Amino acid sequence: MSKLDVRSPEHCAAKQPHNSPHHHRHSFINSSNFWKLLSSLFSAILAVILLVWLVLRPSKPSFSLQQASVYSLSLSDSAPAAASFLNSSVQLTFIASNPNSRLGIYYDSLRVYASYQGQQITGLASFPPFYQDHGEKNLLSASLTGSNLPVSPYFGSEVASDQVSGKLTVRFEVDGRVRYKVGTWVSGKYRMNVECITAMDFGRGLPTGPLTSQQGGLCSTKL
């Protein structure tokens, strides 16, 4: 322990004026004024940015599923309680829209895959970067395939029990990076995650025909 730690607060307070020479104090006050000026300038700039942001009120891009179909889901035969391997083919069309009336959106990267019961059932499909103007909508279609994807040993029985109940619930996970454009100014990149859920009717069921979502699914966007 150093001596200083042992001293009482009063002792330190009493000693302080003696410890700091006058010219040091003086220059300290000057630099403190400088920092005060700089920080008020900084907060003024922040306030302007905040005001512009509030006026423009940026909204997250919104997504909806237009159609999704599962063309095939085939599991390798495996010993009970051993991992299975899945081949799959899924088609998907979704709509990305820019709800902002004054901001454009750059989609720098967008990737999508399908999952079922928390397991990825297709590989990733990626979309080329594009720009979306104020209030614009884009239709995005992807063909997702999986080949020899490892899935849990319960996958087959989960699909079988869904077949009994008549509905297969599939999720689509979209991730990407977006930038906002205001006039000529372009923001930094924001990471975006979208999750869409849709229930498909088994109907005649696989493998005779594709499973198709009846009405579009719900999507939520996290930015």
Q: What does the binding site for ligand NAG look like in residue numbers (CB under 6 A)? A: 74-76, 87, 147-148
Distance of closest approach, residue 75 Cβ to ligand NAG, in angstroms: 6
- Cβ 157 to ligand NAG shortest distance, Å: 16
Contact 201, 167 (CB under 8 A): yes
Q: Which is nearer to ligand NAG, 93 or 119 (CB)?
A: 119
Let me know: does 106 contact 133? Beta carbons within 8 Å: no
CA dihedral 186, 62, 168, 208 (to 10 degrees): -80
What pairs with residue 213 in β-bridges?
200
Query: Min. distance of Cβ 168 from ligand NAG in angstroms?
Result: 18
DSSP summary character for residue 214: S
Task: Between 88 and 132, name the residue whose CB sits nearer to ligand NAG.
Answer: 88
Residue placing its CB nearer to ligand NAG in the complex, 40 or 147: 147
Using alpha carbons, list the distances in angstroms from residue 98 to 59, 60, 135: 8, 8, 5
Nearer to ligand NAG, 145 or 169 (CB): 145
Q: Nearest approach, Cβ of 210 to ligand NAG (angstroms)?
A: 17
Q: In 3D, which of 179, 68, 194, 174 has the Cα closest to residue 125? A: 174
- Minimum CB–partner distance for residue 199 and ligand NAG (Å): 25
Smaller CB separation from ligand NAG, 33 or 74: 74
Report which residue's Cβ sits closest to ligand NAG: 87
